[in-house]
Chains A and B, each alone.
Chain A
Amino acid sequence: MVDFLNTVDFGDNLWVLIIVLAIVTYMTRIGGDLVLSRFKSIHPRVDAALEAVPAAVITAIVIPPALTNGPSAFIAMMVTMLACYKTSPIISMVIGMGTLAALRYFGL
């Protein structure tokens, strides 16, 4: 069995730990809705905060890989961003990946 206070050993039954992690992950996925559904009305500022969640979180996820994976990654991300103004997300993604592969092929 997994002793939660001690170092995990690869010989342990890792599946116990995996199930615990699955439960923790699921709790976070229902947590916000469980808390919010207890309130009848939503304050405008809370609503503004929730409206901001997608853009805020995804931006925070995207910045480090864009800045820490070399000039090719940074340029590909900028190209993807600009492409989004002109075309659909899917096409923009293809353009971004193509740019990245080309830049890396030429050693950038």
Chain B
Amino acid sequence: MDLFDIMLSSITIFAGASQFVFLEILGYQAPAWSIVLGVFAVNFRHILYSASLGRSMGEFSTMQKFTAFFFMADPMFTSSEHRASQQPLMPAYYFGFALIQYCIWIVFTYLGAAFGSLISDPQALGVDMLLPIYFMTMVMAFRKRKNWFPIVVASGIGSAFFYHFVGPPWHISLGALMGILAAVIMAKPSGFIGVEEDDG
């Protein structure tokens, strides 16, 4: 894989997990279809993301919406969901944030590809935990949502279970499904949307 392929990946795919899965399966000398399947599996959560966030995109034109979804990486999704729970999600906010993330991703891809071998011990700097720690703050940012605690507990146990018995990347989709299932079970069987729902 040369610099061109690496840069092309970040520019067109723009998904950390996809690109890591791509590299990992590429390393196994596996057939190309298994890479496509692996990337689909690890991205399955994005289908849930767009179903969820699409509901908050009332201020977006169709064109803006379909452009916006290209940039919907995990941090983009979580920050937009959080924003939408406080005030209407505006295209300016979304694309401003998206552009910053996209530029950072591409610049760091280049720096990593060009100078990555110079970092002797990335672990000592905590680089490996930067994203998990960020995501932990996002989990906590949603704590005022309905049934947050049982959802997080179910999802966490599910994730650990599937990580151990099925293996990555399935723990993400299957683990999350446990949390979502908990939410569905605990939801009131009747009632109308918008009458008593008030997002924290």
Binding site for B on A (CB under 8 A): 2-8, 10, 14-15, 17-22, 24-26, 28-37, 41-42, 44-45, 47-67, 69, 73, 76-77, 80-81, 84-85, 89-90, 92-93, 96-97, 100-101, 104-105
How many residues of B are counted as interface, with CB atoms below 8 angstroms from the partner's CB atoms? 101
CB distance from B40 to the nearest CB of A (A): 5
CB distance from B84 to the nearest CB of A (A): 10
Given contacts A54-B142, A59-B179, A33 and B65 within 8 Å (CB-CB): yes
Whether B176 is near chain A, meaning CB under 8 Å from some CB there, is: yes
CB distance from A25 to the nearest CB of B (A): 5
- Select one of A18, A28, A45 contacting B8, CB under 8 A: A18
Q: CA separation between A49 and B133, bound complex, in Å?
A: 25
Interface of B is mostly: helix
Residues of B contacting A61 in the complex (Cβ-Cβ under 8 angstroms): 74, 132, 135, 159, 172
Whether B107 is near chain A, meaning CB under 8 Å from some CB there, is: no
Among the stretches B48-56, B89-97, B98-106, B108-116, the one at the interface with A is B48-56
Given contacts A4-B36, A58-B139, A63-B160, A28 and B133 within 8 Å (CB-CB): no
CB distance from B142 to the nearest CB of A (A): 4
Given contacts A21-B39, A57-B45, A8 and B145 within 8 Å (CB-CB): no
Residues of A contacting B64 in the complex (Cβ-Cβ under 8 angstroms): none
Residues of B contacting A34 in the complex (Cβ-Cβ under 8 angstroms): 50
Q: CA separation between A50 and B188, bound complex, in Å?
A: 14
Q: CA separation between A35 and B143, bound complex, in Å?
A: 28
Residues of A contacting B171 in the complex (Cβ-Cβ under 8 angstroms): 60, 63-64
Complex A-B: 13 CB contacts under 8 Å: A7-B32, A18-B13, A25-B18, A28-B40, A52-B183, A53-B48, A56-B176, A61-B74, A62-B135, A63-B159, A77-B132, A80-B136, A97-B130
